[in-house]
Amino acid sequence: MAPHWQILAAGSKVPHNPRPAAPGPDWTGGRLPRYGRVVARARYQSFDPLLSAAEAEDILRLCERFGSYGLYSEEGLNEGIGEGLPQRFDAAFNFIRTGGRFGRAQEDLRDLAARTNYFRETYAYGREIHAPGIEPFLNHHGFVETARAIFDRPAIEPAIVFANLLLPGQELAIHTDVPEFRGINRRQHPQWLCVVMHHSHLFDRWRMPIATAVSWYQDAHGGAFAFYPDGAQGAAVAQPVRHNTAILLDTDSVFHGVDRVHSATEDAPPFTPGMRVHSLGEGSGRWEVRAGDEVIGRYTWDEMRFSISWKAYCFADEAERNAWRGATDDLKLDVVLDTLEDDLRTRGRLAGARPARREFAEILVDQYVRFPPPAP
Ligand SMILES: [Fe+2]
């Protein structure tokens, strides 16, 4: 039976070092939808403040000390099904078609790439620590307890911590994150297919729920975190980016994006694959984007949007964790494609032979991934 409590509401605050999240007088009542659907009313939790003042400063210094951040470019085109399409063509095509959350004038794919290929590096991956000092964040008690409560799953296993840097003029198209299933994940299969699988709800039994927390360390100009807690047809909530705050939610289910970071010009930023953004030293607050030795742009902290994301697997029990670790209950790609094809036929969306790979991919995204419309 679904628990009779709920974490909700922008503005509900979790204090530093919160007590374990649990049903109680602090929680608003309400029956929860069954977990795992793209829910009508998603649960999320804001943190303000997230850390102590000193800890938040330490995170900024850690980001600078890390040195430089590469452009997180397209992870390559698909092979096999969806051949020739970008990995996240679902979000990219929607962005181009609609002009994003505000229905802006259309841009071409190259400008879109410059706007949406932000800078990223990984601070921790499982037990591998790439940015010493990040350990307390990886095991943040408030994140773990809140994930446990929101997902109603007791075994929370932090999996990755990574930093994103967006510079003036950059933004992130509305999307849901790439989910993971036992046997099907982004390392071996197209990202858009993982997304389709989740939105179809045909593979919920194999899905591995992932909690995501996004945290911020400046008062950024623009770059709000926009998300749709009431579903794609509901209103967007734009959470401004404020120093030492965070939000935790199911970003695999809830559509979200990043509004454009304020820029002096309307031009797409001049970023192309291979560039890196470099700190000019711990405590300097100054950064440069470089292509090799050539300086492309100079920035200060308050022009940038820096976030750290935390993702954790949320297991129902040890049996589920063991099935994942031991790969004892894995989905196979041909089963996934056959199941989707059967469902399309049942819905009257497909007749005759299965279309060519690329066309099949486009039909799947069109059928199952229903994006929020642009704001009026
Ligand atoms: Fe995302």
From the CA of 369, how far away is ligand 1's center (Å)? Answer: 15
pLDDT of residue 106: 67
Cα of 279 from ligand 1 centre, angstroms: 25
User: How far, in Å, CA of 291 to CA of 300, rounded?
Assistant: 18
Residue 45 has pLDDT above 80, yes or no: yes
Residue 214 Cα to ligand 1 middle (Å): 9
Decide which of 91 and 289 is more confident: 289
Q: What pLDDT is attached to residue 74? A: 53
Distance 155 CA to ligand 1 centre (A): 23
- The alpha carbon of 25 and the centre of ligand 1 are apart by a number of angstroms equal to 32
Distance CA 85, CA 361 (A): 9
Q: In angstroms, what is the span from residue 95 Cα to ligand 1's centroid?
A: 14
If you measure from the C-alpha of residue 172 to the centroid of ligand 1, how many angstroms do you get, rounded to a whole number?
8
DSSP 3-state of 86: strand
Residue 299 CA to ligand 1 centre (angstroms) = 24
Indicate the domain borders of the chain.
52-72+112-194+204-330
| Averaged pLDDT of the chain | 86
Predicted pLDDT at 28:
29
Q: Are strands 276-279 and 210-216 parallel, antiparallel or unpaired?
A: unpaired
Separation CA 42–CA 251 (nearest Å): 10
Ligand 1: distance of its center to the CA of 346 in Å?
31
Distance 38 CA to ligand 1 centre (A): 15
pTM to 2 decimal places:
0.87
pLDDT at 5 over 90: no
CA distance 295 to 312: 37
Q: What is the pLDDT of residues 334-371, one digit of tens each?
A: 999 999 999 999 999 999 999 999 999 999 999 999 99
Read off the pLDDT of residues 215-260 as tens digits, 9 standing for 90 and up: 999 999 999 999 999 999 999 999 999 999 999 999 999 999 999 9
Predicted confidence at residue 332, as pLDDT, reads 96
Distance CA 7, CA 47 (A): 12
Distance 175 CA to ligand 1 centre (A): 6
In the block, tokens 């890196």 appear at 276
Residues for the chain: how many in total?
376
Output the CA 333–ligand 1 centroid distance in Å. 24
The CATH number of the domain covering residues in 52-72+112-194+204-330: 2.60.120.620
**Band of pLDDT at residue 214, cut at 50, 70 and 90:** very high
Number of helical H runs and strand E runs in the chain:
9, 18
pLDDT given for residue 75 in this prediction: 58
Question: What is the Å distance from ligand 1's center to 370 Cα?
Answer: 16
For residue 29, pLDDT over 60 is answered with no
User: What is the model's pLDDT at position 97?
Assistant: 83
Dist. CA 354 → ligand 1 center (Å): 31
| 98-156 pLDDT tens trace | 888 888 866 777 787 788 888 999 999 988 999 999 998 999 999 999 999 999 999 99
pLDDT (tens digit per residue) in 288-308? 999 999 999 999 999 999 999
CA of 281 to the centre of ligand 1 (A): 29
Question: What is residue 88's predicted lDDT score, i.e. its pLDDT?
Answer: 85
Please report which helix (H) or strand (E) contains residue 66, including its range.
helix 53-66
**Dist. CA 100 → ligand 1 center (Å):** 15
Ligand 1 midpoint to CA 179 (Å): 11
